[in-house]
Amino acid sequence: MARLFFLLSFLISNLLLASCAVNPVTGENEFSLLSRQDEISIGNEQYGPSQQSQGGEYKVDPDLSAYVNEVGQRLATEGRRDYDLPYEFVVLNNSVPNAWALPGGKIAVNRGLLLELNSEAELAAVLGHEVVHAAARHGAAAMTRGSLLQGVLTVGAIASQDSAYSDYIVGAGQLGAQLIGQRYGRDAERDSDTFGIQYMVQAGYDPQEAVSLQETFVRLSAGREAGWVDGLFASHPPSQERVENNQTLVNEMMPVLQGRDLEVGIARYQQAIASIKADQEAYQLFEEAERAVADDDLEIAMLNLDEAISMVPNEARFSGLKADILLYQGSYRGSIVIYNEAIEKDDSYFDYYLGRGVAYARTGNQVLAQTDLERSVDLLPTATAMNELGKISLNNNDRIVAKQYFQAAAGGAGQVASEASLAFTRLDIVDTPGSYVQAQTYTDGEGRIIARVTNRSGLVLQNIQLEFTAVIAEQLAERLINIGSLAINQTIDVNSDLRFPEGIEGSSNQMRVRVNSAQPQ
């Protein structure tokens, strides 16, 4: 025992020593379980699914994405001096004003936030803030805290967070949803404000724009503007304290900044966002259509979508929602036609393949359904796709693969996950009946060997077979007993027709019962 304690102490001490690291931005010592390569790997793995879960890339105006990436890379140059990461920046097709950073320097800004900014310097303030989150390893720190709270040293043990997508994302994609939905602490936000402003200045932007941006955020927060509460304010809460701290920092910088030609870039920024401003009415119609769908007013939704498509014909999301409505209405072949149009406009968004795959499955084309559903899972693993793939595998008599898909789908939430969990259970009962039917032997006052049997499956079971074995008078005795059916949570006592001789009390190691088979009714 003393040796074991010594070895454990030695291993823990070495782990702690190996895990102590200096924050590359602040210079402070921190505890971390993730290396730089770990962060980069996590960012690479989660960047795609995270974008998919937030609306996918905005592709109507590629020049806008290129512009945002150019500004972001200017800020990233400063971040790399502290912590060299392969920074990437994308614009997401999402109206909620938000921006986020994953470990490893993977950063996204929503179309909805760009509409709320006034200048390139304000954009630089947002992106600089996110660059610091990555450079200062704030996401990695959150994952480390999550691992410790769960008591395991694994990447996946991040503390759970609420997510708008948690009811359909399953598997590896859930980690990205948790990371981008996390709320940073006050210290992390203060550091990102402070060093983000320094990055702005070093990149040539006017830092006063960062202060005015925070003032705007505070004002919008007080008014609880629609969208902001669910977006940037959820993960980056503004406060008057942050405004004052930022203004103090800028005031301290001003003597050094006198005479420098620092950029604001109002005209350049307005030119860059001209297309999304011009298309704003179409996206408002799209959002109204989404609300109409939620209210089951599909006729209004279709009218809004047709008008939106006429205004911005190359926006795939409009066609995608129209196809979703047709699928919901049972117009499977009609939905396939519209999904095809959406995929022609954007062939990299999971929802179109998911919807078309379901439509193909409903029309009996299992081969095309499987291809589309697998493509959707590659982009974003969802409970719906996994459940549909499980059904296809079951139709192909591939029970093992079907169980794998159903089990994955059951990892989500909501009706689809419940359906998949039930499908998995129905298959697994046949394969491992002892996991669902609890059976334990005992002897009664007359020495008879009895099994107390309970149905823990959540389903009515039938064709249950019990196999009794016992060593009686140094001889092996066996019996097979069949039970007709068991209701959910029903417990019965089953007589094995075996008994120990009078005066001999059998011990537990002399008798055993095994559940050989069971079937859901």
Same domain, 159 and 225: yes
Same domain, 371 and 446: no
pLDDT for 461 equals 97
Q: Could you tell me if 290 and 319 are in contact, meaning their C-beta atoms sit under 8 angstroms apart?
A: no
- Residue 485 phi/psi, 5-degree rounding, is -160, 160
Last residue of a domain, one of 380, 397, 417: 380
Domain at 324, CATH number = 1.25.40.10
Give SS3 for 468.
strand
Last residue of a domain, one of 195, 228, 262: 262
Task: Read off the tokens for 510.
Answer: 């002399």
Same domain, 222 and 309: no
pLDDT for 29 equals 63
**Owning domain of residue 64:** 23-262
Give SS3 for 12.
helix
For residue 5, pLDDT over 80 is answered with no
Q: What average pLDDT does the structure give for the chain?
A: 86
Same domain, 197 and 297: no
Distances from the Cα of 489 to the Cαs of 92, 242, 425, 517, in angstroms?
49, 57, 15, 17
Percent share of the chain, pLDDT over 90: 63
pLDDT in tens, 276-302: 999 999 999 999 999 999 999 999 999
Last residue of a domain, one of 231, 262, 293: 262
- Region of poorest pLDDT, from 136-140, 246-250, 361-365: 136-140
pLDDT in tens, 87-129: 999 999 999 998 999 999 999 999 999 999 999 999 999 999 8
How far is Cα 56 from Cα 92, in angstroms, rounded to an integer? 6
pLDDT for 230 equals 67
Of residues 165 and 385, which shows the higher confidence score?
385
For residue 17, pLDDT over 70 is answered with no
Same domain, 238 and 310: no
pLDDT for 256 equals 84
Q: Residue 219 falls within a domain, yes or no?
A: yes
pTM for the predicted model, two decimal places: 0.85
Task: Read off the tokens for 225.
Answer: 């503007």
Give Dmax over CA atoms of the chain in angstroms. 106
> Which of 59-73, 77-91, 216-230, 238-252 reaches the highest mean pLDDT?
59-73
pLDDT for 8 equals 38
* Total number of domains in the chain: 3
Same domain, 227 and 311: no
For residue 257, pLDDT over 90 is answered with no
pLDDT in tens, 182-193: 666 777 788 888
- Residue 265 phi/psi, 5-degree rounding, is 70, 45
pLDDT for 487 equals 97
